[in-house]
Amino acid sequence: MTDTTPEIERMVREKIMARSPQERMIMGAQMLDAAIVMIRASFPPGLSETETKHRLFERLYGTGIPSPWATPSV
């Protein structure tokens, strides 16, 4: 679902693409940092650092951390 008109979407895209690749990379990294802060804020208090990392991975990637002994699917 989107509530943004195609004209506005085009304008925003043009403004973003007018930035240098380095600026766009920094913007992406900053957005990821902000998302991680918001995700961590949604976790219950008192989780261990390991549990926090596992939950963060699941939230970001939609799956648990793969076992290092798992056979990769092809």
pLDDT in tens, 26-53: 999 999 999 999 999 999 999 999 999 9
Host domain of residue 28: 6-57
Per-residue pLDDT band for 69 (boundaries 50, 70, 90) equals confident
**64 belongs to a structural domain:** no
Contact 52, 40 (CB under 8 A): yes
pLDDT at residue 74 in the model: 60
pLDDT at residue 59 in the model: 95
H/E element holding 16? helix 6-17
**26 belongs to a structural domain:** yes
* Cα distance between residue 72 and residue 44, in whole Å: 32
Contact 28, 8 (CB under 8 A): no
pLDDT at residue 16 in the model: 96
Q: How many domains does the chain have?
A: 1
Percent share of the chain, pLDDT over 90? 78
pLDDT at residue 65 in the model: 83
**15 belongs to a structural domain:** yes
